[in-house]
Structure 1
């Protein structure tokens, strides 16, 4: 088994530690992408994106050469890029200069996108897509996620969409007579038998931390309901409340029983993925972005041997097993000033909504756009695509609504939680302290 080098665990990163938060943005002399002033009738369909996004442009260019040829001739697609780190500042600057392009990517902070929507800069896609007759081309689960992230409104488009759950080794399950678990108790029983059989029950990266905190939030959503972390963000609950600490304790107990293996603290993302795809681990909690690895040459157990199931229900819990943790990856939005259903921008929006899901799927991407053309996919990819198309609601993830300091502390201390070097009470307190400090 390939693992990252062993290292000594770090001391707990406490909420009182001095950390660099998000700095104030100084919008002086910014340049690079989207520099032209917006007008009510732009001559080109400019898309300003973050340079790290390499997936959206190929799909749009394919559409411009095929399904959206007419729209592209009337208003040519032009793509410009700037680094993700500069995107929030550039968008803010362009907004103040009335220079936002017709379409642009979301910045790194959802709160900034929500502010743009509140101030009238963004298109209301519920209204616009309904007027164009293509509102049904967007998966409701993706819309639910966008609304949770961006202030309750459908103002961004899901050019990516990932759902999360537990991938499992189908052959291992069959050989041991295990049924897909639907309850937490069933999952624990399988984990215990997997360990006894010499397997790592759950591959997970303690080095990254977030694969472990995803389990904490999963337990919270199943026990307390979909609004469990929104209540924390709104100040109506605290992570130090007993019912929240109970979730951290449940995941700490998995570590105490050895269900993450001996090397969880030193495993990075790639090593944990490798542990699952080489058959050393029975399960891994991950998002649908893992499909690239599952369908790749490095998967030694074979794509046909990978299954997927939802985070199980907890007896007596308020949450629904049908609520997927999800994210929209690299969303983008439209400038309200340049948009009209009767101009070229509106034509582009209709064409994108109608065709993006199909073209993206041909290129191996799963998005929040409905794909209604038959595409031959590996079985596990089809399973995920089917789940996305039928999902109606979503939840976020542990750090989604946290400030930068709390997110850093959460990920850093996660390995200490599951190795017993930090108690559930202290783990939750460290994160809550950072939230309280703002």
Structure 2
């Protein structure tokens, strides 16, 4: 799913659980402090010099996460002068190829950035990375937001530490709502009323790209979550259920209802994501359901809609099993430590420090939501991003987007069928039937 910078960085074949995973109690504690866990030199002995090889993707000057990664690494080395972090960076797609090849050759670096779920599953299956439960004290786990460890947990064991959190939200231009006397929707009926009212006034209610199919999926994914609930969605997408269940037809019918009400522009099918977003960020379209990265752009200093955009949760759907406290998205980007590291203890200590502080620094810079509970002056953070963070503070679950839960050709089956539903060339029932072919029956 090409969800601009944040998800291009971290979404690749994710096999996500929908609910917070319980972790086993553990004992060993390597570090747990924001001062970088300075090496303890018992008896005043000089600490042994250590080099930690760290491969990651934040090297480009244009990457909003590069300054945060650089600062965290430098801070750690300052507090631990005996430790040298040897950094190797590559562009996202090249990195994915390289890290897979390194794993296959049994040459993984001491610590490396990766993505949870399906992308890292081969590393776990080959026993290439360190299983972390014994190092994660209750104090450390309590610092993580609900569900943060879901996508790095395999068979009940934790193998990585996340730092970013991406979630889907409805971004609404409150100025347009106020000027046109429309209520910001909290129910399905209010959402349809808003759509119809804006449409009658000649205003396109919602921004979407029919050409870049993942943007349509952003809308349907959350509607399916509202209709079926997180557990049923996850089980069905991982081939442990059935799309024949009535909840998926309910979601398809509601999606068609939104389309038929005139929610999207007639020319949306031929418009790219970049083109579709322009009128929203120019203040001409009142609603857009997108990932939390949208907050950064909406709240930037040069944004035409700065101070006007609010993030709300998508409302419940009549007859649905889900609720507005359940979100699409989750914590996916993570760091893992090689099982073959010659400096495993030091690498794990740095891993814990990096994950927590990368969350903090990238949040402060307005680049992403944190997967860790951060103690920062939020007056210095992009207010739109703070809005999304506050929206999700009592989140019950996060369910990764469909086109990342699904794999290979199954993803294309879904996106192509959804595009046809969007364009009206498939009925809701035909759409559901197409999804069921993923099961081979």
TM-score by length of 1: 0.79
More off after superposition, 188-197 vs 315-324: 315-324
Q: Once the two structures are superposed, what CA deviation does each residue of 1:152-172 show, in whole Å capped at 9, x if it has no partner?
A: 543233232211110001112
Matches of residues 357-372 of structure 1 in structure 2 within 5 Å? 357-366=359-368, 367-372=370-375
Cα distance, 1:103 vs. partner? Answer: 1.4
Runs (5+) with no aligned partner, structure 2: 1-12, 14-47
Say whether residues 1:312 and 2:318 are aligned partners.
no
2-structure distance, mates of 1:68, 1:354:
16
Say whether residues 1:79 and 2:87 are aligned partners.
yes
Cα distance, 1:44 vs. partner? Answer: 1.9
1-structure distance, mates of 2:420, 2:237:
24
2-structure distance, mates of 1:229, 1:217:
9
Secondary structure of 1:202's counterpart equals coil
Matches of residues 135-214 of structure 1 in structure 2 within 5 Å? 135-147=141-153, 153-214=157-218
2-structure distance, mates of 1:145, 1:184:
30
Q: Once the two structures are superposed, what CA deviation does each residue of 1:405-437 show, in whole Å capped at 9, x if it has no partner?
A: 121233234333122122222233333324538
Matches of residues 241-256 of structure 1 in structure 2 within 5 Å? 241-256=245-260
Quote the RMSD (CA, aligned, Å): 3.0
Say whether residues 1:47 and 2:51 are aligned partners.
no
Say whether residues 1:61 and 2:70 are aligned partners.
yes
TM-score by length of 2: 0.79
Out of 393, 398, 414, the residue aligned to residue 397 of structure 2 is: 393
2-structure distance, mates of 1:235, 1:138:
30
Identify the residue that residue 271 of structure 2 maps to in structure 1.
267
Secondary structure of 2:87's counterpart equals strand
Cα distance, 1:337 vs. partner? Answer: 3.9
Asked if 2 retains the 8 angstrom alpha-carbon contact of 1:222 and 1:318, the reply is: yes
CA 1:389–1:43: 2 relative to 1, 3 Å: farther
Secondary structure of 1:308's counterpart equals strand
Out of 114, 119, 125, the residue aligned to residue 121 of structure 2 is: 114
Asked if 2 retains the 8 angstrom alpha-carbon contact of 1:44 and 1:76, the reply is: yes
Out of 406, 411, 414, the residue aligned to residue 410 of structure 1 is: 414
1-structure distance, mates of 2:334, 2:348:
18
1-structure distance, mates of 2:329, 2:296:
17
- Counting matched residue pairs gives 391
CA 1:189–1:328: 2 relative to 1, 3 Å: same
Asked if 2 retains the 8 angstrom alpha-carbon contact of 1:145 and 1:395, the reply is: no
Cα distance, 1:125 vs. partner? Answer: 4.1
Q: Once the two structures are superposed, what CA deviation does each residue of 1:269-306 show, in whole Å capped at 9, x if it has no partner?
A: 11121121122211000011112321346632x21100
Cα distance, 1:380 vs. partner? Answer: 1.5
Say whether residues 1:334 and 2:337 are aligned partners.
yes
CA 1:331–1:282: 2 relative to 1, 3 Å: same
Secondary structure of 1:110's counterpart equals coil
Identify the residue that residue 223 of structure 1 maps to in structure 2.
227
Asked if 2 retains the 8 angstrom alpha-carbon contact of 1:240 and 1:429, the reply is: yes
More off after superposition, 348-357 vs 217-226: 348-357
CA 1:253–1:157: 2 relative to 1, 3 Å: same
Cα distance, 1:205 vs. partner? Answer: 0.9
Q: Once the two structures are superposed, what CA deviation does each residue of 1:362-392 show, in whole Å capped at 9, x if it has no partner?
A: 3222231322121412321211233355435
Secondary structure of 2:322's counterpart equals coil
